A = this chain, B = another copy of it.
């Protein structure tokens, strides 16, 4: 099942677009700019059926803003953020009730807005035509189930493999911060090898000093007891060098921790290396690790393989729901499913 909007409107005007079901077939006589030049970008979102029976989007304004930024990184046209939110809302209103009826509380559909260059010119040129569409589909809950292809394991959580430099995901002056296809297909080989070795995702390191950036298609967090102060710190890579994606869930985690946990947990968006993390682990100062993202939501990490050594992340507090990751996940879930009425949850009336 898929629902999508597509149509012609420039500038983007939600009221002028056309709704079509999955039987729609796009005529593609020649490969488009997306298929040859990777001129594409997209978003990942969810629509939630709340415990109060209402449909909600989670901070769709941030996805719209990021899609706009990604589009411009690959020379696709920008648009009015608010029009995209209207378009997504209209699709949800039109079709979500069919696949996510009111009694399916606590469930969600996945929403993927995308823009692709589809001019048919074969030369390497600035594109002439682009298509914006939004697809909505059912999606497995990766934060509850094992990820695809994962082997059964005794300890819950993701097994990460720290990258060894053979493949580098992103680079200064590159596009690691943009949600563009060019960041994905180019990691499939390394990701496939990691799966074969029994890992779930790659933890992408950058540079000769092994700076921790992000994990697979999600942002990475570690909670470490500061060596000097003894205080717990939430560590995550900084956005400053444009290497990592500015995740909506990442941003929400940071905002919640800053506003609700500041007395016990300080936030450090910073450059930190895998050897620093290993040292903290050796000294018993690595308290937690988790990833965040729309697909993976908040998923704990159970181990990080670094230079052949498995750093097992403590699971005790996770197991009894007392970890910071569990607490933050609970808050986010409440906001998404209407357990807490919060401005981040945009209600779509159906």
Spell out A's residues near B (CB within 8 Å): 2, 22-40, 42, 72-75, 110, 112, 114, 116-117, 122-127, 133, 135, 137, 139, 148, 165-168, 171-175, 180-186, 188-189, 191-192, 195, 216-217, 295
Contact = CB atoms under 8 A, between A and B. Distances in A.
| A-side interface mostly | loop
A185 to B, nearest CB: 4
Given A122-B137, A166-B173, A172-B168, A116 B180 contact: no
A29 B182 CA distance: 22
Contacts of A112: 36, 122
Candidate in A42, A114, A171 with the most chain B CB atoms within 10 angstroms: A171
Nearest to A217: B124
A109 to B, nearest CB: 11
Contacts of A171: 168, 171, 174
A314 to B, nearest CB: 29
A183 B175 CA distance: 11
Q: How many copies does the complex hold?
A: 2
A37 B191 CA distance: 13
29 contacts: A24-B29, A26-B28, A28-B28, A31-B135, A34-B35, A34-B181, A35-B35, A36-B42, A36-B114, A36-B184, A37-B181, A37-B184, A37-B185, A38-B183, A75-B188, A75-B189, A122-B137, A123-B139, A124-B184, A124-B217, A125-B148, A166-B173, A174-B186, A180-B185, A181-B181, A181-B182, A182-B182, A182-B183, A182-B186
Contact of A185 (B40, B137, B165): B40
A112 B31 CA distance: 10
B185 A174 contact: no
The 10 nearest A-B residue pairs measured at CB: A168-B173, A38-B181, A75-B188, A38-B38, A182-B182, A39-B185, A171-B171, A37-B184, A37-B185, A25-B27
A293 to B, nearest CB: 10
A7 B306 CA distance: 44
A125 B149 CA distance: 10
A346 B195 CA distance: 43
Contacts of A216: 124
Given A25-B29, A32-B35, 20 more contacts: A25-B25, A34-B185, A35-B35, A35-B116, A37-B188, A38-B181, A38-B183, A39-B185, A40-B185, A73-B186, A75-B188, A122-B137, A122-B139, A124-B184, A126-B191, A127-B188, A166-B173, A168-B174, A171-B171, A182-B183
A42 B33 CA distance: 12
B36 A40 contact: yes
Contacts of A36: 40, 42, 112, 114, 181, 184
A70 to B, nearest CB: 11
Contacts of A114: 31, 35-36
A325 to B, nearest CB: 22
Given A36-B181, A184-B37, A74 B174 contact: no
